[in-house]
Amino acid sequence: MTSPSHRDDTYRHPSPPGYYGDSLSNYASTSLARADSYPTEKHYDPTNVQDPTQSHLFRGLSRKSNAPSTALGSNRPTFIDEDDSSLPHKPIDDSQGASLVQNAADVGRSGNYQDLEYAEPLDVDRKAPVSEKTSSFRRFMAKGKYPLEQRIDNKKRGLGRQKYPFVVWGLTAIMIAVFIYELVVNSRAQGTPVSFKPVVNPMLGPSSSALINLGARFPPCMKLVDAVPPSTNFGCLNNTANPPDKICSLETICGFGGFHEQNPNQWFRFIVPIFLHAGFVHILLNMFAQLTLSAQIEREMGSSGFFITYFAAGIFGNILGGNFALVGLPSIGASGAIFGTLAVTWVDLLAHWKYQYRPVRKLVLMSIELIIGVAIGFIPFVDNFAHLGGFLMGLLVGTTFYPVISVTKRHQLIMWTFRLLAIPIAVILFVLLTRNFYTSDPYAVAVTAFSVFAGLARYALVDWSDPMHCSALLNRGSWLDSGQQNWQPDGCMLYSYKLEHASACLKSKPIIFIGDSVTRTLFFQLARILDPSLPTSPPTDGQKHSDHVLHAKNSSDISFFWDPFLNSSHTFDLVRPSKNMTFEERPALLVLGSGLWYLRYANASGGIPSWEANMEHILNILSKNPIKPADNVVVLPIEQIITSKLSHDRAASMHSSDIDAMNSDLYHRLHLPIRDTLPIFSKSANSLPVSLPLVFNQMLDPSQTGDGLHFSDSVVRTQATILLNMRCQRYSFPWAKDAQGPALIFSAGIALIFLADRTGLWLKENKQFSPWTFGFLCLASLAVGLVSVKRADKDLGFLNREQTDEWKGWMQIAILIYHYCGASKISVIYNPIRVLVASYLFMTGYGHTTFYLKKADFGFLRVAQVLVRLNLLTLFLAYAMNTDYISYYFSPLVSMWFLIIYATMVVGARFNDRTIFLLCKILLSASLFTWIMKEAWILQTIFDFLERFCGIHWSAREWAFRVNLDLWIVYVGMFAAIAVIKFREHRLAEHPRWPLAVKGVLAVSGLCLIWFFAFELYQESKFTYNLWHPYISFLPVLAFVALRNASVILRSASSSAFAYVGRCSLETFIIQYHFWLAGDTKGILLVIPGTRWRPVNFVITTIMFIYVSDQMAQATTQITSWICGGKPKSLQLPTIAPSNGAASSFGRQDLTVQDGTVAIPLLPANEVPSHKDNQSDGLPPEPDTPIRPRRWVDRLAEGSSPRPRTPGFRIWYGEDAEGYGVKTKLLFGIGLMWLANVLWQY
């Protein structure tokens, strides 16, 4: 390395000696030469201490160093002990009045330790406030008023929250008393306290029959066990013969009053065994552990937290043992609870690693202790499952309640993350395993629970700071094949990026490479990935040592600058960017590669010392400059060489040992060692904003190089792929954007819905209608809607998107309140709700008819998209919740009407521009469908066919009732769509009598609404109203449409709150069956137990319900796009018209009337394209189609013909030929559903 005079004034950390051989042997002397730059203690300024991350400065000094002490100041030691934190030290005050706490806290702390969280300013004249009182809550959470240094000192001394373990002493006394009672019971029965007949108890205690009678965990006493039915006979308590001559029934042996002529259900045997012991050996071992280990844990945790941890571990241990241990053997003992306290010591060790004395040795001893405890579990009457269960629950509950000292915000964040994860995991484990004990297969739950726990533990302990496994991507991996074509990073998928995915990741940002020929080869291979038309090597014109700039099709510029020494002014300008550089201008990748030229031309370049100095200078710029030179900065490792294939001159100057030393130096400069804490609580492994892909050298094989220096294109291309994965996986996985991310959300939503309604995770209660509650909720919702009303700057048009989203939203809210309050029996409420359902169907008919008249797109793709979008969630819920698909009647109802509209419009589609023909075929469709629904045998025949050949058991009568209620409202919507289109074509708004007509329509609409409400109020019951509903429901619907669009103000204003709910109305309607409500809408869900907390539960569950519905709507939209082969867009359900292009049907400000479509538009509201038809009128967005194909007239005008169909079997594949097409996916899905239906047990 160069002398300090050749460096900046700021300190660059040297790596420890001994790593790099003779080439780096002068590190220690350099460190000593720099030691005098530290201020002496006399002038010590805490604000001017060195960066703690540079702490290994002193590690460059040997423990046997003879350097004079004056080099570091008279009061500063010349070396740092291994157990210290290697930070600049303050002198220890040895005076008599010095604070012990102060001295203890100062050891190993930097001068600015007071900036750490919880710390208080240190006053040397003020004694530590040991006696200060704190609130019980703050003491419970381990904060309080105690300063940080005192808590650390107490931790090192082994002092906890309290002096005496009262709970342990009390439990020990109770257990000893219970054990004495066990001996008395056995003595009365057999004449001796210890059972020697019919078999000897190896624990020297009572017989197994006596232990069962006293409350041991014995599954046949707790539930029906096929292998041990209630009719099984056992030896009585006083039996001493083998085989037994005194027989008693299972009910007698179980005791506690028997089963009361019912099935066994002595659930308390999960708790009672904690207080029982099998004999003297058993109780001595347990009490010794309890009075030592458990007592210390109670002192540290406090009695409250210890009590909860102790019994949670003991009970869960018995639950786990009850699921998986042998059902014919009794199990007793407090060892499960004691193992829970043992688990807390592991929490203490991992969380306070830096404060433990010799933590590695302690870890080894604790591991041995744990193994011995498991070995003891194989003794009779002792259950290893109880041990493991107690240990697992002790980890979870102990993490929650154990007081942890957090000196950094990162440590505190990690601990609170663990606590927030531990609570729901513990609850879920309790619920699942308790339920499983009484119901289903224990081994299936065991595998599931273990897999979930292992995944969460791995994520929490290993992957928390690296969820995308970028560390493995850059550091660990192997070839899966002998041809070096398929590289596998450990635990991480290496995605082969193509142009479209790379474009989305790079966002047209530039990529810059700087370095030597090895870097140049990587540059060309990465450019070739982004654009296959780009070259793979420099031109053969003798200009190989020159710069190159390539332009990819994704608009990214890929640049290479030749600088094998990385010391040109241009390189430093790129590493130290201008402060004026914007985020868009910043490169996506900056790749730096150097090193081999320093070895090859050591005499001219200065060799390794010059390389060290230059790299140190570059890394200092990167670490200190607040402006990042690129989104990702990569320093390439010095490439390993194949010496046997090098030329003579290269082999003489390049040595593998030097390359290893240089790479080790790079690694230790970028990954600062942290010795005082575990990796999970430390900062990121890479302390500088630079990536070092050491895995590049692991990928090299002698067979892949010809000159020993440059490797094959396939290897380098894989290295370039790793660079792209490193960049792009931090933003999003390309496959997650297509399907897996939404699929994960969708699956989590289904699981949450199942847990809410099909398990005891949350409580359920019955509904009770209250007119006050119903009225209050309606008024509160109305108030929220009115407060969120916003007005656009222009007339948004007739039935615009914002208006229809709002319409769906407030209707959905009304339906939800109706269901939540159980108002279905109130006729005056039921009747308007029926009209709201009819309004949805009206929008279906209006929207789809408008779409087919304007777009004439009758292709299979759109049909598939609509049906998948409408039914995906419903179908999954039907199987997951074991319900009938038809019970979620809204989805099947809308799907059926969509198919009817499609069939009506596709027949004679080329004549749809003829109004008479169009009206006639709609009337014919209505007549035909009415006849089908009136003839019950037709529908019954269809349903019988589905039951016989498809295993679908639906009620034809129930379906006929649902359909007949709204038999003609869809056709009213179709006629309304035609009327709006003809209104536009004939420009009726320009007629001089149009204002008069508008007033007349508004007056009639108002009268219709008044008449309707009066009519439905005077109906005898809802059954009477149902007879009238099909004939009159269109009146209030059309009246509302007319009044809602009566003026420009009304058309331009909408409620954002209602519109938000409207955009996920399909999901809210379906999910309410199980998540907001409960028992398939029969009850309501309670998160907080207690009927008196219903209002609070309503607020909590409503927020959860709306959020889950919104997330499921987005996930379903993207999954639909993936299934149907389209680009994922934001879908909305159902809507009428876009907001752009103001149009008015009741005003003269704009004589153009805009129509719209109902169904499921795939573009968000702010991305609506402004299409025009032949009359220059605005077209609505395509409702249900992720891909928006252009109209044939547009293609014709551009002189292009429609895309021809792909011949042969390619019809079943996607257009990119990389995956299956929509028909194959749908056929596969239908086949799976058919198989499931046939095999389903009803």
Enumerate the active-site residues: 517, 707, 710
Length of the chain equals 1242
Please count the other Cβ atoms lying within 10 Å of the Cβ belonging to residue 1154. Answer: 27
CA–CA gap between residue 840 and residue 1159 (Å, rounded)? 10
SS (H, E, C) 145-192: CCCHHHHHHHHHHCCCCCCCCHHHHHHHHHHHHHHHHHHHHHHHHHCC
- Three-point CA angle 1011, 1014, 1016, nearest 5°: 105
Helix (H, G, I), strand (E, B) or coil at 238: coil
- Taking the C-alpha atoms of residue 34 and residue 24, their distance in angstroms, rounded to an integer, is 17
- Residues 627, 621: Cα–Cα separation, whole Å: 10
Residue 982: C-alpha distances to residues 411, 975, 985 (Å): 69, 11, 5
Token representation of residue 20: 């790099």
Supply 336's token pair.
Answer: 């499960």
DSSP label of 61: S
- Joined together, the tokens standing for residue 93 give 């005050």
Query: How far, rounded to the nearest angstrom, does the alpha carbon of residue 359 sit from its chain's CA centroid?
Result: 34
Position of tokens 């010590």? 44
Which uninterrupted H or E stretch holds 849? helix 827-855
Nearest to 414 by CA among 449, 459, 452: 459
Check: CB of residue 389 under 8 Å from CB of residue 321. yes
| Paired tokens of 814 | 């009304």
SS3 488: strand
Cα–Cα distance measured from residue 525 to residue 636, given in angstroms and rounded to the nearest whole number: 15
- Residues paired with residue 249 on neighbouring β-strands, in sequence order: 233
- Concatenated DSSP letters for 1163-1188? S-GGG---EE-TTSPEEPPPSS-SS-
User: What residues pair up with 1011 in beta bridges, in sequence order?
Assistant: none
- As given in the structure block, the two tokens for residue 1028 are 């009238």
Tell me the helix, strand and coil percentages in the chain, rounded to 5: 55, 5, 40
Please give the angle made by the CA atoms of 1176, 1179 and 1183, to the nearest 5 degrees.
170
Per the listing, tokens 């006639």 go with 920
| Contact partners, residue 934, CB within 8 Å, separation at least 6 | none
Residue 92 is encoded by which pair of tokens? 């220890």
* Separation CA 885–CA 953 (nearest Å): 10
Residue 770 one-letter amino acid: S
Distance separating alpha carbons of residues 362 and 352, to the nearest angstrom: 12
Q: Are 952 and 959 in contact (CB under 8 A)?
A: no
Alpha carbons within 13 angstroms on the beta-carbon side of residue 310 total 25
1079 backbone φψ class: left, alpha, beta (φ>0; ψ -120 to 50): left
Taking the C-alpha atoms of residue 420 and residue 395, their distance in angstroms, rounded to an integer, is 13
> With the CA atoms of 1219, 1221, 1227 and 1230 taken in that order, what torsion angle do they form, in degrees rounded to the nearest 10?
80
Residue type, 389: G
Q: 732-749: b or e for each residue (b if 16 or more CB lie within 10 Å)?
A: ebbeebbbebbbebbeeb
CB distance 206 to 186 below 8 Å: yes
- CA distances to 53, 418, 459, 674 from 680, rounded to whole Å, are 17, 12, 11, 11
